Structure 1
Amino acid sequence: MIKITYIPGPGDVVGTYNYWREGIEDPRIPVLTYSSMMYSACKKLKAKLQVITTNKPPKIHDDWISFSQIPETSQSKSYFVAQFERLRNIRKTLDAFRPDLVIVGSDVPVMLLFLLKNKKWKLCLSIHNTYWSAGRMPYSNLKSKIKYYVIKSNIRLTDGALCTSVQCAEQYKSMHINDVPVLTQIPAVTHEFTPNNSSSVRRIAYLGRIEKNKGIFLLAEVINELKQDYPELKCFFAGSGTAVGLLERSISDSQSDALEYIGVLSGKEVHEFLHSSDLLVVPTMSSFNEGLAKVGFESSVHLVPCLYSDVVPAKDYFVDACSVFRADDKQDLKNKLINIIENPDYYLSLREHLKDHVDEMKKSSQLWGNLVIQLVESIMEKKVCS
């Protein structure tokens, strides 16, 4: 029996497992979760799975799966010191479990991957963020150049990758020197949805992390300016993050009814929110290494088009079904919004093109869980041949 260790990013993998065991997709999350797909893949592979988690293990679980609780170390320590200590503890768990394959989320600092490397197992990444902004150079000064080469040396320790976007895959391959499996996923939503009937843009949505580097204040500023010419325009912000207080103060200070923060949404509420929207804006700044922006896939099932900044890799998937502006460029964001607002035919064409992409998503075999199976089969085949 093949043995796999999964080191996921943040999230309640135990709670998701409890839902999965009952045959239910986690209702708290609007898309299929990575952990539920991992459970399904390992069950299909008849593999033994070890899941590393910060949460307490479930009281009841299948014989082929185990949960190893390894909490975060003291918050009083620096980020890298805390991560170093946690990975060292994870390594002890790996040595005891002796897996054939370790799949580690890219939330683990890539500079510390050497702590998880061992010739007894294959080490593969699940990459959810780019290593530098899409369309930009990997480094711009001596400090970023040194960082790039440290990342590159650690990437070369890995034996393959599951990538959230083509951009992530291309960056990974550009740093690797060996012929290793590199697979790119297409996200999947959990349920069928009825498209809304929008014919023009009045309700604009932002859904995601409430952080400065996500471009929320750039978007808010542009919406306030456009409100003068388009009095029916309104932008709704949903999500959580460290900049919620700043956003709420900004909305209050603007003394405008063009902006509203509606808080954190459940999986069901996410789709209700998107269904009620006309346009989704993903204004990520160039200072953030966006891996994909799954929210664009979530909105697509409602035929709600997206306006992406050009550092968001999701734009490469939707191509003719989205609009793109230059990251950090307020005037370009404003111009692209005006173009969509004032041209209902263009807006409707984006919705029409989205239909084809939604059909492709439903037929796709590139779900992350399927890629896990392909990765395992590829690696085990090479192991047998060697």
Structure 2
Amino acid sequence: MIRILHCVNDMHRAGLETMLMNYYRKIDKTKIQFDFLTHRPYRSDYDDEIESLGGKIYYAPRLYPQNYPAYFKWMKKFFEEHPEYQIVHSHIDTMSYLPLLAAKKAGVPIRIAHSHNTSLDKDFKYLLKQYFRLRINSVCTHRLACGEEAGKFLFENREFKVIPNAIDAEKFYFNEELRCKKRKELGLEDKFVVGHVGRLSYQKNHKFLIEIFNELLKKEPDSILLLVGVGEKEEELKRQVKSLNIEDKVNFLGNRSDVNELYQAMDVFVMPSFFEGIPVVGVEAQFANLPCIFSDKVPEEVKFTDNCVFLPLSKGLDSWVNDVFEVYDNCRLKQSNSFKDSIYNIEYSHTLLENVYLELNKDIL
């Protein structure tokens, strides 16, 4: 059996983590086992399930610049104690430079960098991330990406392979009965429901989303905004909602294990991100037959239904509000299996990643 060491920040319920779990559940575990090296000192949402599937979880020091000496010392010891890891697969974009550098120093033969985004968060590590981006090709032996634009961003002119951000599509198919049940549970029976799923962070541009929704309320007062997720911008966004006096119209739902059901309660999905790779939530929303409005910073590779509109962030609030209603008026269709063979359906795509590992293992042998 091949044991793959996946390097992540943590395994909470977020886009790439959910994508990894989708593959992990489906992959042939008689041949391949996933283990996880996280960079947070706590257990995460998926840890119990990982362990139930036979996976192991390790907790490395956080990737703060002041921690780098201690981090590399920890990683050196880790690889000395775990020679079984001959394939390391890192998912933290430009920051993958650090675990992959440690793996290279330890003599790990297969080191995979996986690109999940098309830009960088502008945080205190921004300049370091730019440097790591320039250096990533010097420490990886193989390159994967969630989409063409994400691959070009991280690897520039180097060759890479696309592995779709696939999901368990059947969990998200539109279901009228479940929709009625969920809307009743949330008190939304007579409401127009705008939804968003994503980390409350700079990247997702929730401030603009709330501004859009505030304008939308002027045309449709019986509207509700559902925000699913947590993040560092939560308190700032709650203050914005309070300043607009729409606290009774915006529901912060936090992290949820019933996201597939929450899509059923929505009428339209809005995602005005500053940048994205291939957003898993955009895939999920389409399988739920939700009308979707994405910013033009979301790669159009995500689109596989006709219920998608891409709008420039430079467009005014009126344009965004008008398109919310226009795409909604096109109507949510009754569930169809016409896209069951989409590359974003895990039933179709899980063998793509499985075959990558099996081929790489031949090189080791």
Is the TM-score greater than 0.5?
yes
Q: Secondary structure at the match of 1:44?
A: coil
1:329-362: CA deviations, max 9, x gaps? 250x5314303414655x23x7589864455244
Once the two structures are superposed, the pairs formed by residues 293-332 of structure 1 within 5 Å of their partners are 293-313=279-299, 316-318=302-304, 320-327=306-313, 329=314, 331=316
Cα gap change, 1:330 to 1:344, in 2 (>3 Å): closer
1:283 aligns with 2:272: yes
CA distance in 1, matches of 2:133, 2:304: 29
Q: Secondary structure at the match of 1:43?
A: coil
Q: CA deviation at 1:131?
A: 4.2
Contact 2:279–2:302 (CA<8 Å) still a contact in 1?
Answer: no
Which position in structure 2 is the counterpart of 1:25? Answer: none
CA distance in 2, matches of 1:290, 1:83: 28
Which position in structure 2 is the counterpart of 1:160? Answer: 142
CA distance in 1, matches of 2:157, 2:96: 12
Cα gap change, 1:308 to 1:52, in 2 (>3 Å): same
Match of 1:174 among 126, 131, 156: 156
CA distance in 2, matches of 1:72, 1:359: 41
Segments of structure 2 that go 5 or more residues without pairing to the other structure are 180-190
Q: CA deviation at 1:304?
A: 0.7
TM-score, L = length of structure 2: 0.75
1:272-315: CA deviations, max 9, x gaps? 32111111111112xxx422221112222321121111122365
1:115 aligns with 2:102: yes
Q: CA deviation at 1:50?
A: 4.8
Cα gap change, 1:100 to 1:194, in 2 (>3 Å): closer
1:117 alignment partner AA: K
Q: CA deviation at 1:132?
A: 5.2
Which position in structure 2 is the counterpart of 1:70? Answer: 59
CA distance in 1, matches of 2:120, 2:335: 29
CA distance in 1, matches of 2:82, 2:231: 36
1:81 alignment partner AA: Q
Cα gap change, 1:185 to 1:85, in 2 (>3 Å): farther
Once the two structures are superposed, the pairs formed by residues 190-201 of structure 1 within 5 Å of their partners are 191-195=170-174
CA distance in 2, matches of 1:147, 1:208: 22
Segments of structure 1 that go 5 or more residues without pairing to the other structure are 13-27, 134-142
Mean alpha-carbon deviation: is it higher for 336-345 or for 123-132? Answer: 336-345
Q: CA deviation at 1:174?
A: 2.2
Match of 1:337 among 311, 317, 321: 321
Contact 2:227–2:254 (CA<8 Å) still a contact in 1?
Answer: no
1:235 aligns with 2:220: no
Which position in structure 1 is the counterpart of 2:278? Answer: 292
CA distance in 1, matches of 2:112, 2:137: 10
Q: Secondary structure at the match of 2:65?
A: helix
Q: CA deviation at 1:205?
A: 1.0
CA distance in 1, matches of 2:265, 2:51: 39
2:149 alignment partner AA: Q
Query: Identity of aligned pairs, percent?
Result: 18
Which position in structure 2 is the counterpart of 1:377? Answer: 358
Once the two structures are superposed, the pairs formed by residues 1-386 of structure 1 within 5 Å of their partners are 2-11=2-11, 34-35=20-21, 37-38=23-24, 41=27, 43-45=29-31, 47=32, 50-53=35-38, 54=41, 67=56, 69-72=58-61, 79-82=64-67, 85-98=70-83, 99-106=85-92, 109-112=95-98, 113-118=100-105, 119-131=107-119, 148=130, 150-176=132-158, 182-189=161-168, 191-195=170-174, 202-256=192-246, 259-268=249-258, 270-285=259-274, 289-313=275-299, 316-318=302-304, 320-327=306-313, 329=314, 331=316, 334-342=318-326, 347-348=330-331, 351=333, 356-360=338-342, 361-362=344-345, 365-367=348-350, 370-383=351-364
Contact 1:284–1:312 (CA<8 Å) still a contact in 2?
Answer: yes
Q: CA deviation at 1:104?
A: 1.8
How many aligned positions are there?
Answer: 338
Cα gap change, 1:247 to 1:304, in 2 (>3 Å): same
Mean alpha-carbon deviation: is it higher for 334-343 or for 94-103? Answer: 334-343
Q: CA deviation at 1:157?
A: 2.3
CA distance in 2, matches of 1:378, 1:66: 21
CA distance in 1, matches of 2:348, 2:207: 38
CA distance in 2, matches of 1:123, 1:227: 50
Mean alpha-carbon deviation: is it higher for 355-364 or for 375-384? Answer: 355-364
1:373 alignment partner AA: E
Contact 1:185–1:366 (CA<8 Å) still a contact in 2?
Answer: yes
Contact 2:97–2:139 (CA<8 Å) still a contact in 1?
Answer: no
CA distance in 1, matches of 2:240, 2:285: 26
Q: Secondary structure at the match of 1:291?
A: coil
Q: CA deviation at 1:159?
A: 1.6
1:126 alignment partner AA: H
CA distance in 2, matches of 1:120, 1:358: 38
2:325 alignment partner AA: I
Cα gap change, 1:41 to 1:315, in 2 (>3 Å): closer
CA distance in 2, matches of 1:322, 1:353: 16
Q: Secondary structure at the match of 2:166?
A: coil
Q: Secondary structure at the match of 1:248?
A: helix
Contact 1:196–1:303 (CA<8 Å) still a contact in 2?
Answer: no
CA distance in 2, matches of 1:42, 1:84: 37
Q: CA deviation at 1:194?
A: 4.8
Q: What do you get for the CA RMSD once the two structures are aligned?
A: 3.9
Cα gap change, 1:10 to 1:344, in 2 (>3 Å): closer
Cα gap change, 1:50 to 1:241, in 2 (>3 Å): closer
